[in-house]
Amino acid sequence: MTGPPASGKTTYVLNHASPGAIVVDYDLLAAALTAGAADTHRHPRPVQQVAHRARRAAVREGLRQARSHEVWVVHSAPSPDALAEYQAHHAHLITIDPGQDVVLARCEQLRPPGSRDAALRWYAQRDHLPPTTLHAQSDITVSNDHGSRDW
């Protein structure tokens, strides 16, 4: 699952993954590694470091398990090496992109200050991603227990 920050990647996965599916998502991992109610997008440096390392290990093992189990990996902007690894495991790439204006507005309203810059970088670099199987438009709405997201 790829897409810029605040595009709805996690919401899409939570709405489409089967019960019991493995979901590897940095934001969910970081929140799970933090005591108490944590903001899923703002973490102290030590939590970020642990979450990044845990994510790498979870992706590796998740790819091994994908032969016999449903696995979703949320990876905003995978590198060419990461894409090659996903393709070697016959991954199905989905990109969520409701459009730059929508994403930047969400970043301003819902995310920490650096997310706007990350979204702009994603749009500047998106041409390196292979063709995708889904391009979410701004008129699609997907709901879950956590509210709804207009795409």
pLDDT tens for each residue of 63-91: 999 999 999 999 998 988 999 999 999 99
In which band, very low, low, confident or very high, does the pLDDT at 38 lie, cut at 50, 70 and 90?
Answer: low
Assess whether pLDDT exceeds 80 at residue 102. Answer: yes
Give the C-alpha separation, 139 to 120, whole Å: 22
pLDDT at 134: 44
pLDDT at 88: 92
pLDDT at 138: 35
| Residues contacting 120, CB < 8 A, separation 6+ | 104
Check: pTM over 0.75? Answer yes or no.
Answer: yes
- Mean residue pLDDT of the chain comes to 83
Query: In 3D, which of 66, 140, 63, 133 has the Cα closest to residue 98?
Result: 140
pLDDT digits (tens, 9 = 90+) for 117-130: 999 999 998 766 65
